[in-house]
Chain A
Amino acid sequence: TQLLEQSPQFLSIQEGENLTVYCNSSSVFSSLQWYRQEPGEGPVLLVTVVTGGEVKKLKRLTFQFGDARKDSSLHITAAQPGDTGLYLCAGAGNYGQNFVFGPGTRLSVLP
């Protein structure tokens, strides 16, 4: 079974601060996704990373996939209250395999 760990579990910061959350596994994934989930809603995809060492930017969010494709990080610059939510990483195997989710990091950005 492929397992994903996320850290920190909870994070509360002030508006304007920067933060990084981490996703780690002992398994290699063919791709890794980051999702954000708001209360009462299902997770929504933010980004997919596929290549080891890949860096993707989405406005103030920067995602990095580890060289060995076992870990990833999400960095948010100048956090805003709208960034508040549960951030989930999910790994996918090769052809047609399951998405395995991490436990999530609950981010709260205070105005």
Chain B
Amino acid sequence: GAGVSQSPRYKVTKRGQDVALRCDPISGHVSLYWYRQALGQGPEFLTYFNYEAQQDKSGLPNDRFSAERPEGSISTLTIQRTEQRDSAMYRCASSLGGVLNTEAFFGQGTRLTVV
């Protein structure tokens, strides 16, 4: 597509349920990033991929969070046994990567609310 697409845009879930957030990056972009953003704050790094390889997952808060990008394109961020503190805006971004790694293009985000 023309831009980074995230779905769903809004997700309300009950505490303890699992959720899966989807990111469809710009076609041809090598690198894909997941961030979490609190209102009025900068994006907090979670994890990123080059192609299908997860390069760095040091930002994932705990083992309830996982991400995959099996075919090097679409990525899914999964949160198991959700807790209220997981409520946030989750943003995905992609970039060309490599020596052209000079701009991250962001999606509209998924607003997750855990009740």
Segment 54-108 of A: residues with Cβ below 8 Å from B: 86, 88, 90, 92, 95-104, 106
User: Which of B50, B102, B106 meets A48, CB within 8 Å?
Assistant: B102
User: Which of B35, B41, B99, B108 meets A103, CB within 8 Å?
Assistant: B41
Q: Chain A contact residues (Cβ within 8 angstroms of B): what range? A: 20 to 34
Task: Give complex CA distance A88, B44 in Å.
Answer: 12
Question: Is the CB–CB distance between B41 and A104 below 8 Å?
Answer: yes
**Given known A92-B102, A96-B30, A98-B48, contact A103–B42 (CB-CB < 8 A):** yes
Task: Give complex CA distance A103, B58 in Å.
Answer: 18
**Given known A33-B102, A42-B107, contact A98–B91 (CB-CB < 8 A):** no
In angstroms, how far is the closest chain A Cβ from the Cβ of B91?
Answer: 6
Task: Give complex CA distance A67, B49 in Å.
Answer: 30
For residue A43, CB closer than 8 A to chain B, the reply is yes
Question: Is the CB–CB distance between B35 and A101 below 8 Å?
Answer: yes
Segment 22-75 of B: residues with Cβ below 8 Å from A: 30-31, 33, 35, 40-45, 48, 50, 55-56, 58
Segment 34-53 of A: residues with Cβ below 8 Å from B: 41-45, 48, 50
**Given known A100-B45, A103-B42, contact A41–B98 (CB-CB < 8 A):** no
In angstroms, how far is the closest chain A Cβ from the Cβ of B33?
Answer: 6
For residue A25, CB closer than 8 A to chain B, the reply is no
Question: Is the CB–CB distance between A88 and B48 below 8 Å?
Answer: no
Contacts of A1 in B (CB 8 A): 58
**Given known A42-B109, A45-B104, contact A99–B33 (CB-CB < 8 A):** yes
Task: Give complex CA distance A66, B40 in Å.
Answer: 26
Tell me the B residues contacting A by CB distance below 8 Å: 4, 30-31, 33, 35, 40-45, 48, 50, 55-56, 58, 91, 93, 95, 97-99, 101-109
4 A-B pairs with least C-beta separation: A42-B106, A104-B42, A101-B42, A103-B42
23 A-B pairs with C-beta separation under 8 A: A42-B4, A42-B93, A42-B107, A42-B108, A43-B104, A50-B102, A86-B42, A88-B42, A90-B104, A92-B101, A95-B98, A95-B101, A96-B30, A96-B31, A96-B101, A97-B101, A98-B48, A98-B55, A99-B45, A99-B95, A100-B45, A104-B40, A104-B41
